[in-house]
Amino acid sequence: MIYKILLAVWMTFIIVASFMFTEAASGFPGETSRILFFHVPQAWVATLCFLLSMIGSALYLAKRRLGSDDLAHSAAELGFLFCILATVTGSIFAKATWGSYWNWDPRETSIVILLMIYGAYFALRSAVPDPEKKRVFAAVYSILAFVTVPFLVFVVPRITTSLHPEDTMNPAKPGMDPRTLKVFLGSLFAYTTLFVWMLRLRMRLLYLEHLKDPIARMRRDGGIE
Amino acid sequence: MKDGLGFVMAVNLVIWFGIACYLFALDRKIRKMEEASGDPRK
C-alpha cells in the first residue's frame, strides 16, 4: 500500500515539476516541448508492456500456467492503452508544431500499425471459444506481434525522413538541460510504477475470474495438464 | 510561470487525482472480492 501512496505523491510532484521547475526546450513553439515528460514515458511503458506480453506468452507455451497467460493478456491490454495515450499526446504535439493533428509521418503511421496489430490480438482472444485454444493461439500471436515492435518503434522512424524530433529531445543525447533530464527520468520511473500497479490490479481480477471457473482452478493448481 | 501554463498544470493534476482515486477505489474493491472469494493467497 505504501508504494501506491508514494507513487501518488511522486506523480503529483513530477507534474508540478514538469511545468514549474524546467525550461521549455529551444527550437519548439512555445511550451510544447514539455509534452516530453508525458509522451515519452507513455511510449516507453507501451513498449515494456508488449515485451512483457511476449515473455508471458512464451512462458505460457512452455509451462501452460494460467498466471503466464494472465500476464500476457494484462500486459497487452495495458500496452494498448498506453499506446493510445502516446498517440493522443503525440497528436497534440503535432497540432501545435506541424499544424495538424495527423500528418501520416512514419512515426505516426508505425504506431497506428502497432495499434492494429495488438487490436487483432484482442479480436483473436474473443473469437476463439475454447479457452485452452484461445490461450495457445493468443500466445503464439503475441510472440509474432512482438517481432514487429522493435521494427515499428525503433527502425522505421529512423530509416525514413520524419518530422519527429529525435535528436533535439532525446535525453540520451548530450546537451539536455540537467534539470529537465532529472524530471524526465523521474517521470519515466513514475509511469513505470503506475504501470506495475495497474498490471497487478488487472492480474488480480483475472485470478478472481479463474477462481469461479473450476476447470481453470484445477489447471492452476496442477490437477490437470 | 507563463500565462496559461498554470491552467494546463491544473488540468493535468485534476486528471491525475481522478485516475489515482479510481485506482485506489478499484484496489479496495478487488481486495474485498478476494477476501469474499476465499482466495487461498489471502
- For residues A23 and A30, the answer to whether their CB atoms sit within 8 Å is no
Q: Which residue has the higher pLDDT, B15 or B40?
A: B15
Interface-testing mutation among A11, A23, A42, A212, with chain B (most B C-beta atoms within 10 A): A11
Q: Find, in chain A, the residue whose alpha carbon is nearest to that of B22.
A: A198
Q: Where are the alpha helices (DSSP H) in B1-42?
A: 5-36
A19, A198, A211 member nearest B9 (Cβ): A19
Contacts of A38 (CB under 8 A, 6+ apart): A18, A89, A187, B12
Q: What integer is the mean pLDDT of A27-35?
A: 81
Rounded to whole angstroms, the Cα distance separating A209 from B30 reads 11
Q: What is the DSSP annotation of A75-125?
A: HHHHHHHHHHHHHHHHHHHHHHHHSSS----HHHHHHHHHHHHHHHHHHHH
List the 17-36 stretch of B: residues with Cβ below 8 A of A: 17, 20, 23-24, 26-27, 30, 33-34
Three-class SS of residue A31? coil
Is the pLDDT at A168 greater than 50? The verdict is no
pTM, rounded to two decimals: 0.87
DSSP 8-state secondary structure symbol assigned to residue A171: T
Q: What integer is the mean pLDDT of B26-41?
A: 85
B6, B23, B37 member nearest A197 (Cβ): B23
| Least confidently predicted of A71-80, A81-90, A129-138, A154-163 | A154-163
In chain A, what are the domain boundaries? 35-163+177-220
Q: What integer is the mean pLDDT of A11-17?
A: 94
The number of residues making up chain B comes to: 42
Instruction: Tally A–B CB contacts below 8 A.
Output: 47
Quote the cell numbers at residue A21.
521547475
Is the pLDDT at A89 greater than 80? The verdict is yes
Q: What are the contacts of A6-12 at 24+ separation with CB within 8 A?
A: A7/A190, A7/A193, A7/A194, A7/A197, A8/B20, A8/B24, A10/A186, A10/A189, A10/A190, A10/A193, A11/A190, A11/A194, A11/B16, A11/B20, A12/B13, A12/B16, A12/B17
B6, B20, B39 member nearest A8 (Cβ): B20
- For residues A217 and A210, the answer to whether their CB atoms sit within 8 Å is yes
| pLDDT at residue A38, rounded to an integer | 93
